Amino acid sequence: MPEQPRDSVGLVRPQKAHFDDPLPLACGRTLPAYDLVYETYGTLNAERSNAVLICHALSGHHHAAGYHDEGDRKPGWWDAHIGPGKSIDTERFFVVSLNNLGGCHGSTGPSSINPESGRLWGPDFPMVTVVDWVDSQARLADHLGIERFAAVIGGSLGGMQALQWTLSYPQRVANAAVIAATPKLSAQNIAFNEVARQAIRSDTEFHAGHYANHDTLPRQGLKLARMVGHITYLSEDAMGTKFGRDLRSDDLNFGFGVEFQVESYLRYQGDTFSNSFDANTYLLMTKALDYFDPAAEHQGDLSMALAPAQCPFLVVSFTTDWRFPPLRSRELVNALIRAGKSVSYANIESPHGHDAFLMPEPRYQDVFAGFMRRVADDLGLSAISTEETAHAL
Amino acid sequence: MPEQPRDSVGLVRPQKAHFDDPLPLACGRTLPAYDLVYETYGTLNAERSNAVLICHALSGHHHAAGYHDEGDRKPGWWDAHIGPGKSIDTERFFVVSLNNLGGCHGSTGPSSINPESGRLWGPDFPMVTVVDWVDSQARLADHLGIERFAAVIGGSLGGMQALQWTLSYPQRVANAAVIAATPKLSAQNIAFNEVARQAIRSDTEFHAGHYANHDTLPRQGLKLARMVGHITYLSEDAMGTKFGRDLRSDDLNFGFGVEFQVESYLRYQGDTFSNSFDANTYLLMTKALDYFDPAAEHQGDLSMALAPAQCPFLVVSFTTDWRFPPLRSRELVNALIRAGKSVSYANIESPHGHDAFLMPEPRYQDVFAGFMRRVADDLGLSAISTEETAHAL
């Protein structure tokens, strides 16, 4: 693998776990059986105490680090932070990263076969929530023999899952990192999600979600959804720096073709996404975002909702993130403090907007790596030698 | 008219002016002949010195104040600021408000007949720019016998027209008010416009703009465009205060129907708009926004571009406007100062985002009314008595 950098986890291979125990869901329905696709990086120690769970965001998946084959040009989506010597140091931690239920990268979701009907789930796949995901992740932990995670970590929608872990399974989380997230979506956040859903659902190729049966895809709708989403991932400044008002060619053409570079970029992003992501999954993921609101059962009192949490928290926000602005992270931090929890908070200066959580910003890396060193030290984890590893799996 | 408030201009009637002189456009094409629909409020004085031009925004039109009939429940779109005793005091000023070329409210546009072909213009209507609009407005001024406007005033895209007036016809503008505008769109602004255009143009009912010939409308696309636009008109706080995470009914239904109030509101706004606004016009208006950039011909030096302006300016921005944030107004103000122009600037505290420019915020009214009093005083305008009025028209 001459092309892969030395701090990479290298070649990785997705694995699949099958679950036969029916999973009761927040919507009232039950998933009879399901698969979860996941990857692991690093080595589980003999005490099984060094496992870290990575939770993915809206369009994420299990492939968080490393490469799938030697020709791979792009590593996993969080490769900047997972690897030997990186923030999540795979020489100390055993990292688990999965594709969530309802996803379209191998875990059971709308594009899977419903075992009860023998046909595609499609739009009949049940609505899944962050709470459901955490339940399914706990079963994956059981399957892997992990009683307690050294840390559960996620950015954006992944941060919501990390937070939910501390509430659903407080005794199974030693630490939680909630990055670029929010304790609940704002009306504006929901509004953007609703535009995305309307775009997909009004595409004439959507066929009420049964597009696969019509041998088609709602590409235009998904493209629009992604374009809207993408605007909210970047800061206005980042977009300005990247594209400004630069034209594609020298002159205005006074037509509706691509004129400005930013139009070209967005169309390209939208097209690529619409050919690789499942529309029904996108709909489910946006709904999971909208529904997340742990304070709702406590008359909106977030610190009451956080009472079950037992572990120390790291909360990170980014100055130019306008999707989930620093203010939303501070809401969470303040509620954690009111609830008497231990929390470290960093607001990282970054020009990259919401997407900053994916990037290798030096101060972000310092904060993140410092937190993870503390996690390792608290648990007495050192670099893993071969003798110490767990053999049962 | 017992229903109409005392400070209303009362019943108003649109008028139409026909122009036979071909209008050369920035895109290189020429409009052979055209109509402009307009309304006037107040009385033109004998010196013809008290005329004020109102320029409309993206989805605006000529009906800025008063009522069209006695059953009318909603007055014109800027009724909060135009009327006897209001900021633009119709007891002192003669107010002209028109529908721009390319519009869909009576002025020549895509839904008009092309006199050369005898068929609907549709998508063949030429691209019109802010510069073109100002040229056509100058001809309307000629038609009305107005050599020089006491003030040219506009909000948002209307503010760009007011600014352009001071550059295209500096000797014909005594004052300019540029409200909630920007000297040019940012990459993010263009990106949102591009999503709107893609939504319309990818609607299968769009038929390359010839939807009228197919006896249909691209309703879904226009609805999506409006939904996206609407999110950018409101501040995040205003949306939060108005809707928060309130549900339409008591419980989540875990489906894709309307659950949150904000979804219901956006869908309603989108539906209403898509039944009343022309899609080809919407496309043209967004392009006019994108193209506006007076500094472009001066290597991006805005103060150089502003050199021709001769009049005093009022520039107003609103604290929570994130479509055209205060920073963009300050760019204009700073460039005006560098260019040695006279400018008053107010950044108005308002929770209402971009839409604040339409609303009767007290400090905004104070600033606006104060500016207009100064305009009237400078020109020696007093309340108009009947004897003083112009008779020629």
Using one digit for the tens of pLDDT, what is the confidence trace for B226-243? 999 999 999 999 999 999
* DSSP one-letter string for B280-339: HHHHHHHHHHHH--GGGGGTT-HHHHTTT--S-EEEEEETT--SS-HHHHHHHHHHHHHT
Residue B382 token pair: 């007093």
pLDDT on residue B203: 97
Q: In sequence order, what are the residues at sequence separation of 6 or more whose Cβ sits closer than 8 angstroms to the Cβ of residue B283?
A: A256, B197, B200, B201, B209
- Specify which residues A94 forms β-bridges with: A51
Q: In whole angstroms, give the CA distance from residue B8 to residue B80.
A: 9
Measured between CB atoms, which of A188, A227, A259 is closest to B195? A227
% of chain A surpassing 70 pLDDT: 97
Identify the structural domains of chain B with CATH numbers, from first to last.
Answer: 1-184+294-392 (3.40.50.1820), 187-291 (1.10.1740.110)
Q: In whole angstroms, give the CA distance from residue A116 to residue B166.
A: 71
Q: In whole angstroms, give the CA distance from residue B321 to residue B122.
A: 33
| 8 Å CB contact of A231 and B197 | no
Chain B positions in Cβ-Cβ contact with residue A192 (cut-off 8 Å): 231
Rg (CA), chain A: 21
Q: Does the structure show a pLDDT above 60 at A59?
A: yes
pLDDT on residue A250: 75
pLDDT on residue B385: 55
pLDDT on residue B250: 75
Interface of B with A in 292-311 (CB under 8 A): 293, 296
Residue A138 token pair: 């706990």
Q: Could you tell me if B27 lies within 8 Å of chain A, comparing CB atoms?
A: yes
Annotated active-site residue in A87, A156, A168, A350: A156
What digits encode the pLDDT tens for the residues A85-100?
Answer: 999 999 999 999 999 9
Asked whether A169 and A142 are in contact (CB, 8 A), the reply is no
| 8 Å CB contact of A231 and B27 | no
pLDDT on residue A4: 76
Q: In which element (H, E) is residue A134 found?
A: helix A130-144
Residue B23: HSE in the Cβ half-sphere, 13 Å Cα cutoff: 28
pLDDT on residue A385: 55
Chain B residue closest to A189 (CA)? Answer: B236
Residue B226 token pair: 């409006």
Residue B362 token pair: 């007290």
Asked whether A108 and A116 are in contact (CB, 8 A), the reply is no
Angle (CA) B277-B278-B284 rounded to 5° is 115
Q: Could you tell me if A366 lies within 8 Å of chain B, comparing CB atoms?
A: no
% of chain B surpassing 90 pLDDT: 90
Asked whether B254 and A27 are in contact (CB, 8 A), the reply is yes
For residues B196-215, b (16+ Cβ closer than 10 Å) or e, as one string?
Answer: bbbbbbbbebbeebebbeee
pLDDT on residue A384: 63
- Specify which residues A96 forms β-bridges with: A40, A53
Annotated active-site residue in B321, B329, B350, B352: B321
The 8-class DSSP code of residue B121 comes to: -
pLDDT on residue B384: 63
Chain A residue closest to B292 (CA)? Answer: A245
Establish whether this prediction's ipTM goes over 0.90.
yes
Q: In whole angstroms, give the CA distance from residue A228 to residue A247.
A: 21
Confidence of residue B392 (pLDDT cuts 50, 70, 90): very low
Q: Does the structure show a pLDDT above 50 at B249?
A: yes
| Interhelix angle B187-201/B279-291, nearest 10 degrees | 160
* B254 backbone φψ class: left, alpha, beta (φ>0; ψ -120 to 50): left
pLDDT on residue A335: 98
Q: Is A329 helix (H, G, I), strand (E, B) or coil?
A: helix
Closest Cα in chain B, distance from residue A121 (Å):
15
Q: In sequence order, what are the residues at sequence separation of 6 or more whose Cβ sits closer than 8 angstroms to the Cβ of residue A228?
A: A192, A195, A196, A199, B195, B228
Residue B75: HSE in the Cβ half-sphere, 13 Å Cα cutoff: 22
- Specify which residues A82 forms β-bridges with: A88
Residue B85 token pair: 């005793």
Pairing verdict, β B15-19 and B34-41:
antiparallel
Pairing verdict, β B151-155 and B176-179:
parallel
The 8-class DSSP code of residue A100 comes to: P
Q: What average pLDDT does this structure show over B336-362? A: 97
Q: Does the structure show a pLDDT above 60 at B99?
A: yes
Which residue type, as a one-letter code, is found at position A59?
S
pLDDT on residue B1: 45
The candidate with the shortest Cα–Cα distance to B368, out of B83, B18, B98, B16, is B83
Mutate to test the interface with B, among A129, A231, A243, A293 (most CBs of B within 10 A): A231
Q: In whole angstroms, give the CA distance from residue B196 to residue B191.
A: 9
Asked whether B388 and B105 are in contact (CB, 8 A), the reply is no
Closest Cα in chain A, distance from residue B49 (Å):
37
Residue B251 token pair: 């419980």
Q: In whole angstroms, give the CA distance from residue B379 to residue B204.
A: 55
Annotated active-site residue in A321, A329, A350, A352: A321
| pTM for the full predicted model | 0.95
Q: Does the structure show a pLDDT above 90 at A251?
A: no
What is the pLDDT of chain A when averaged over all its residues?
94
Asked whether B182 and B130 are in contact (CB, 8 A), the reply is no
The answer to whether A354 is a known catalytic residue is yes
What digits encode the pLDDT tens for the residues B67-98?
Answer: 999 999 899 999 999 999 999 999 999 999 99
The answer to whether A156 is a known catalytic residue is yes
Asked whether A296 and A121 are in contact (CB, 8 A), the reply is no
* Cα-Cα-Cα-Cα dihedral sign, residues B139, B140, B141, B144: positive
% of chain A surpassing 90 pLDDT: 90
Count the Cβ atoms, other than its own, within 10 Å of residue A342. 13
Q: Does the structure show a pLDDT above 70 at A172?
A: yes
Q: Could you tell me if B250 lies within 8 Å of chain A, comparing CB atoms?
A: no
Q: What average pLDDT does this structure show over A110-116? A: 93
Q: In whole angstroms, give the CA distance from residue A64 to residue A76.
A: 4
Q: In whole angstroms, give the CA distance from residue A342 to residue A344.
A: 7
Asked whether A353 and A234 are in contact (CB, 8 A), the reply is yes
Q: Does the structure show a pLDDT above 80 at B388?
A: no
Q: Does the structure show a pLDDT above 50 at B185?
A: yes
Q: Is A53 helix (H, G, I), strand (E, B) or coil?
A: strand
Q: Does the structure show a pLDDT above 60 at A344?
A: yes
Q: Could you tell me if B266 lies within 8 Å of chain A, comparing CB atoms?
A: yes
What is the pLDDT of chain B when averaged over all its residues?
94
What digits encode the pLDDT tens for the residues A9-19?
Answer: 999 999 999 99
Measured between CB atoms, which of A234, A244, A266 is closest to B194? A266
Q: Could you tell me if B26 lies within 8 Å of chain A, comparing CB atoms?
A: yes
pLDDT on residue B5: 85
Interface of A with B in 116-145 (CB under 8 A): 126-127
Interface of B with A in 322-341 (CB under 8 A): 322
Q: In whole angstroms, give the CA distance from residue B262 to residue B268.
A: 10
Confidence of residue A3 (pLDDT cuts 50, 70, 90): low
Asked whether A342 and A312 are in contact (CB, 8 A), the reply is yes
The answer to whether B117 is a known catalytic residue is no
Residue B62 Cα distances to B51, B107, B158, B356, angstroms: 15, 9, 12, 20
Provide φ and ψ at B192, rounded to 5°: -65, -40
Asked whether A144 and A101 are in contact (CB, 8 A), the reply is no
Q: What average pLDDT does this structure show over A199-225? A: 97
Q: Could you tell me if A237 lies within 8 Å of chain B, comparing CB atoms?
A: no
Q: In whole angstroms, give the CA distance from residue B55 to residue B82.
A: 13
